[in-house]
Structure 1
Amino acid sequence: MDSSLERGLALLTEIAASGDHTAHTLAAAVGLPVSTTYRYLRTLRATGYVREGEGRYEPGRELLALTGRHSAQSALAEVGPAVLSSIVDALGETAVMIVRVGTQALCLRKSEPDKALKYTFAVNQLLPLHAGAGQRVLLAWAPETVIERVLEAEREQYTDNTLTTAQLRHTIQSVRQTGWAVSRGEYEAGSVSAAVPVMFHGEAVCSLDVAGPESRCGDKGWVPRAVTVLQTAAADLTDALESWTTSSSKATSFSKKGTS
């Protein structure tokens, strides 16, 4: 294989896996000089495979299309609201859908109860991967390079309950084993949240998180009940993603036949 192609593929593979890099961390990860890395990144950015913001590089629209993430997130945005509403109906608390964006998380969709006191995120709000149940679920299923970068970085201590590095390492293993996470005031004091991953083709494409005040969600029976509801919703969402992508594939195939 041409060495130039190998270098370009190595950069794309690293960006697709980790999702968020500087030119220097990319160069170190793939073993290229920084000057060479910048040259390749200019080409990849110009062709839409990489996008850059404030010196950080992440997958562009073309790379997202190749990996299927763009399709999955479009499906989540379409079928997610009904699933979130079912969680709110069952538990009476705020339900959010969170996706990972590099070493951060992002609130993709939300559904809220009609209550004065509630905990929620704004749609498209960036969130830390190290604090909060939904975010830590995504951290647990992130690539090892992302996990290590989060653990090694200087992290904000949002409350007295925000996890330490040692606690984070332990919880990653725990979340993988149990399949769910719980947060008690890690990101916002006084809140309780539970979350599960939504698995699709072997990847955690998002997490489903339900959160409320400790006054309503602090008893020991709330978390198990919330996890059961979330796991049912996650299974429904996985089925919906399968149906959505199958329908999209058939529509694309029909469209191509019609124009051939």
Structure 2
Amino acid sequence: MATAIPSGTGRSGASPGVSFQRGLNVLITVAESGEARVEKIAEDVGIPVSTVYRYLRTLRELDLVEERAGTYAPGWRLLELSGQHLTHTRLVELGHAVLQELTDTTGETAVLTVRVGTQAMCLRQTQSAHPIRMAFRINQLLPLYAGAGQRVLLSHAPRTVIDHVLQQPLRSITERTLGRAQLAGEIEQIRKRGFLVTRGELSEGAVAVAMPVVAGGEVLCALTVAGPENRCGPAWRRHARSRLQAAGQRLGEILEHRAAPPTTG
């Protein structure tokens, strides 16, 4: 015998208003996390996994989220609505020449990363010509708490993002990955220094130097140069900082110029 569903409720037993709010909470969780598994979404929103799958199916149909090997990330339509899609496209277009110059002048891989929720993403890179070099995958998601560019982005993120990262379990990727207390204590220092040097936090034997790129008073991305420790000693790190500072300032000025509305005379 079919069970009657009370008027004004969906098959889950929730009213349309509650159901709509749950769906929005699922979307917000994916947007803030950058990439999340169904179990984590269910825990954050406080609803069953089966219900999360139902909302995600609808969000996928609308291109608001996309599935990536068992995890869910913001879809192209959500990125477009938030303005991230346009910003990322502009960074890809304008960042290549800046990255190539960094690689040419430092001899090492240069990377442009952006923050996507509570993770970082490698948006573009130019690789070192050396046989042994550092490299990421384009669009690879990286933890905000480990690595030079990622922690620069974390230090300039909204307080809610910082708190979320500090509250989540922090996996020790290498022996040099910072713990929660060290991470919390360094955030303000990074903002004051304006740069960060890391050694082996994300990849064993790697050295990385990173700086934020600011346009319109907002940190849009981070620039990083990275290589193996045996090539990247103190003199190289000082040189890399100088080149990054010039490159970041130039990219920021280009982004501000492109974003400025045309003047009329």
TM range (shorter): 0.7 to 0.9
**Corresponding residue to 2:211 among 196, 202, 208:** 196
The whole-number CA distance in structure 1 between the counterparts of 2:133 and 2:49 is 47
Structure ID, larger Rg: 2
Q: Structure 2 matches for 1:14-29, cutoff 5 A?
A: 14-23=29-38, 25-26=40-41, 29=44
- Residue 109 of structure 2 aligns with which residue? 94
- Residue 9 of structure 2 aligns with which residue? none
Give me the TM-score of the superposition, normalised by structure 1. 0.76
- Which range moved further: 143-152 or 76-85? 143-152
Q: Structure 2 matches for 1:142-161, cutoff 5 A?
A: 142-144=157-159, 146-151=161-166, 152-158=168-174, 160-161=175-176
- Asked if the contact 2:170/2:180 (under 8 Å) is kept, the reply is no
- Asked if the contact 1:72/1:241 (under 8 Å) is kept, the reply is no
Shift in alpha-carbon separation, 1:52–1:123, aligned structure 2, 3 A: closer
Shift in alpha-carbon separation, 1:215–1:73, aligned structure 2, 3 A: same
Deviations 1:230-255 (CA, angstroms, capped at 9, x unpaired): 122122222333344569xx8xxxxx
Aligned-pair identity (%): 48
- Asked if the contact 2:215/2:253 (under 8 Å) is kept, the reply is no
- Asked if the contact 1:58/1:102 (under 8 Å) is kept, the reply is no
The whole-number CA distance in structure 2 between the counterparts of 1:57 and 1:235 is 34
- Residue 221 of structure 2 aligns with which residue? 206
Unpaired stretches in structure 2, ≥5 consecutive residues: 1-15
**Corresponding residue to 2:61 among 46, 55, 58:** 46
- Residue 245 of structure 2 aligns with which residue? 231
Instruction: Count residues with an aligned counterpart.
Output: 245
Deviations 1:141-199 (CA, angstroms, capped at 9, x unpaired): 345554445442251332x3222222222222322232221111222333221101223
Measured on the aligned residues, the alpha-carbon RMSD in Å equals: 3.2
- Asked if the contact 1:140/1:147 (under 8 Å) is kept, the reply is yes
- Asked if the contact 2:148/2:210 (under 8 Å) is kept, the reply is yes
- Residue 215 of structure 1 aligns with which residue? 230
Q: Structure 2 matches for 1:4-23, cutoff 5 A?
A: 7-23=22-38
Shift in alpha-carbon separation, 1:57–1:191, aligned structure 2, 3 A: closer
Q: How far did 1:211 drift?
A: 1.5
- Residue 12 of structure 2 aligns with which residue? none
Give the number of the structure with larger relative contact order, counting CA–CA contacts within 8 Å between residues 6 or more apart: 1
Letter in 2 for 1:62: R
Letter in 2 for 1:173: E
The whole-number CA distance in structure 1 between the counterparts of 2:76 and 2:136 is 25
Q: How far did 1:202 drift?
A: 5.2
Shift in alpha-carbon separation, 1:121–1:7, aligned structure 2, 3 A: closer
Q: How far did 1:79 drift?
A: 1.1
2:30 is paired with a residue of what secondary structure? Answer: helix
Q: How far did 1:58 drift?
A: 2.3
**1:132 partnered with 2:147:** yes
- Residue 241 of structure 1 aligns with which residue? 255
The whole-number CA distance in structure 2 between the counterparts of 1:144 and 1:32 is 26
Deviations 1:115-146 (CA, angstroms, capped at 9, x unpaired): 44433334344433332211222232345554
Shift in alpha-carbon separation, 1:178–1:25, aligned structure 2, 3 A: same
Q: How far did 1:6 drift?
A: 5.1
Q: How far did 1:33 drift?
A: 6.6
The whole-number CA distance in structure 2 between the counterparts of 1:122 and 1:13 is 26
Letter in 2 for 1:233: A
Deviations 1:68-88 (CA, angstroms, capped at 9, x unpaired): 111111111111110012222
Which structure features the higher share of helix residues?
1
Q: How far did 1:46 drift?
A: 1.4
Letter in 1 for 2:86: S
Give me the TM-score of the superposition, normalised by structure 2. 0.75
Letter in 2 for 1:239: E
Q: Structure 2 matches for 1:27-106, cutoff 5 A?
A: 29=44, 37-106=52-121
- Asked if the contact 1:50/1:59 (under 8 Å) is kept, the reply is yes
Shift in alpha-carbon separation, 1:113–1:56, aligned structure 2, 3 A: closer
